[in-house]
Structures are given as C-alpha cells and as structure tokens.
Amino acid sequence: MRNKIVPIEFINSIAKEVQKNCPDSNGWRLRSEIANKCETYIHPKVELLSARNLERLVSCKSWNRHPTWSYSDKNAQLVTSVIEAITAYLSNFPSTSLILRRKSEGIFAIKYFDSTSSLKEKRLMSKRIINSKDSRLRNRAIEYCSLSALKKRIKVENNSSLKLKMAEVIGKSGYSNGQSSLYTETKKSLVERKLSWSRRQYLASRIIDETTAEQVLSAILDYASEHNNGEGMAVDMFAGRHHHVELLCHNCISKISKQTLLNYINLTLIKFSSNQWTARYGNVSSVLKSRLESKWN
C-alpha cells in the first residue's frame, strides 16, 4: 500500500470488519475472538503497508490519548484489541520490531513495551519514551532508564507522582547529584505555599542522609524566622500546611545524629497546633527532646 494512510481511519476500518464477525463479543471474549481471527482480518491488511505507512500508523500522536482498556466503551475495547493484535504480529519480525521500538507512540508503544521480555529492548526503548508526552509511557520507562536520563527528566517533569517515583529510583541507586538544591526546593515550596501531600512525599524521598535532612530543616527554620511576628513562630505561617511541615521534621529528625540535632533546637519554638499527625507521630518538640535524651545516637 503506497498511498499515504490515515492511522485512525485504518484502524477503524479493521475494527468495523471485526465487529461484523464478532457482533456480540466484548471484554476478554472480544480479545480472544480477535486473537483467533487476526490471520483472516488483520494480518493481510498490515502486510500491505509500506515501511513508511507502518511508521505513520504506530507513531500517530492520537494514540497518546487512547485508553489502555475500557470496561464500558465497546468501541474503545475493539480498537484496543485490534492494536494489541497488530503489535503482537509486528513483534515477530526484527524489522517491524525496530519500527515499534523507535517510532511507536501511546497505546502502540505501551502494548509493545509490556509484551517484550527483552531487558535490552526495554532499556533501548526507555531512552526515548522517558520524554514522551504520554505519562503512562514515562511511568514504564523510569525503572529501565539510565540515571543520567532520569536526572534530566526530573527537572522538567510536571506529574508529581512520576516525579516522586523518579526521586525514589534515584535515591535507591545512591545517586546524590543535585541534592544540594534540596534546601532551595523546600524553601520555595514554603514561600509559594505549594507544600501539598505529593510535594511533601517528593521532598521526603530525597531525605536519604544527615546532609539532606539538615538542608530541609534549615529551610524550615529560615522560613519560620523570616515570618516570625515577634510573639513566637506561630503555626499559621505555614498557611494551613503545618501538618506536612511536621511530618517533614519527623523525617529529618530520624536521620540526624544527636550532636547535630543540637543545632536545630529552635524547632521547639514553632507553635504547631495539635492535630491527627501529632496524635499519631508525636509533637515535633517532644520528639526532638526525646531523641536528644535517648541513649541511642
């Protein structure tokens, strides 16, 4: 097929033909029906595609918005099942597998990435999809990406849950480059009043040793000192996010030696109000004092 194809129309034409022959199937039964009949309805049409048209098919940006599966939309189920069958067929040949690895987007890339058992293939593909606009692909790539690629991506990642996952992978790998900015990031979160649950989780994941813990505590104390109204450091300076600040303090206290903790005794001056976090983890002041009085370092 030398004429330029329109990817969505091509897939829909196959889906309509399959639907005529499987009118009452849905869900897993539909997948099974398509898998059994793909040699009749799918393979012949795919084989007619030129390499250029095959690239157009799998690299269409619209696939970034197509659901991995739908339990209510039968048409989405049908299209997904067709794409799954096409991907499985193309994966059998080195030349078409290469196209999938280098060019596929969205649901095509997801199906290929999930189906391949080759660790090398996943790593090669991850170099590209870590920067995909599809968050589902970036999520899959994190585990297989190099640390240098993760370092670059985490700076521009706008999905907080993915950013947290990247930080955890980097932390587990002992990768500490960029940790000096933890003070700046904590301070910025407080100043801009953006210390949400996901943001606190992200910061906490980067507290991996005494140095990083000190950076976070220093940022909290500096912010508190700058907003001191002369009557003690009141909790309202944290704009309703004081429970996140408290939990960050708990994370830090557990990482710092008693000798170093003496430098942060001013934490006891912050007037945190009683809440569910205090009841569960203890007041910051009492936790700090018990830590200093403990026989353990």
Q: Report pLDDT digits (tens) over 217-235.
A: 888 888 888 776 555 455 4
Residue 289 near residue 254 (C-beta atoms within 8 A):
no
Per-residue pLDDT tens over the stretch 263-274? 888 887 776 655
Residue among 108, 5, 112 at smallest CA distance from 52: 5
Q: 175 phi and psi, to 5 degrees?
A: -85, 115
Residue 181 near residue 164 (C-beta atoms within 8 A):
no
Strand pairing report for 233-234 and 270-271: parallel
Per-residue pLDDT tens over the stretch 93-146? 889 999 999 999 999 999 999 988 788 889 999 999 999 999 999 999 998 888
Taking CA atoms, 171 is separated from 22, 44, 87, 102, in Å, by 50, 49, 35, 29
- 53-57, 64-68, 178-182: range with lowest mean pLDDT: 178-182
Instruction: Look at the pTM and tell me if it is higher than 0.85.
Output: no
In whole numbers, what is the pLDDT of the chain averaged over residues? 80
Length of the chain: 297
Helix axes 160-172, 197-205, angle to 10 degrees: 10
**What is the token pair recorded at 220?**
């909290």
Helix axes 51-58, 74-90, angle to 10 degrees: 140
